[in-house]
Amino acid sequence: MRKELGKIQKFDVGLGGYDGAMFGMSVTLGGQGWGVCDFDGTWSRTPDQHCQWTVDDQIKLWGEMCRRVADLMAKAKVNTCADMVGIPVEVSFNGSSLHSWRILEEVL
């Protein structure tokens, strides 16, 4: 596990994820010589009889994503997604894969 310091380079709520077919939070994090993206959300379409999830599942996942966005914005002390750009972060990698990231509240 390695940790890197960086900043939020992009923070959006909208379509993204797999083939742009999901709705959620898209975040681009980066620092000196590295960058990574994170997505939190679920499929944007209404489920049909072939899906193994329901509208209730979808609403639950979107609610959890919105709660995460609100928590991140509170930690960053900002009011809009656009204001998240430039916020300092600590990012943990497992090998070359993103493990987790957090707002560096102690430097804000």
Query: Containing domain of residue 95, as a range?
Result: 2-107
Q: Read off the pLDDT of each residue in 26-50 and give the average, rounded to a whole number.
A: 96
In sequence order, the 6+-apart residues with CB closer than 8 A to the CB of 12 are 25, 26, 27, 81
Q: Work out the pLDDT band at 44, boundaries 50, 70, 90.
A: very high
Distance CA 28, CA 61 (A): 21
pLDDT at 33: 93
C-alpha 35/C-alpha 27 separation (Å) is 11
Q: What is the mean pLDDT of residues 41-67?
A: 96
Look up residue 104 and give its two tokens. Answer: 């560096």
Name the domain count of the chain: 1
pTM of the model: 0.92
Enter the DSSP assignment of 47.
Answer: P
Please report the pLDDT score of residue 35 as a whole number.
Answer: 97
Question: What does the pLDDT look like over 57-107, one tens digit per residue?
Answer: 999 999 999 999 999 999 999 999 999 999 999 999 999 999 999 999 999
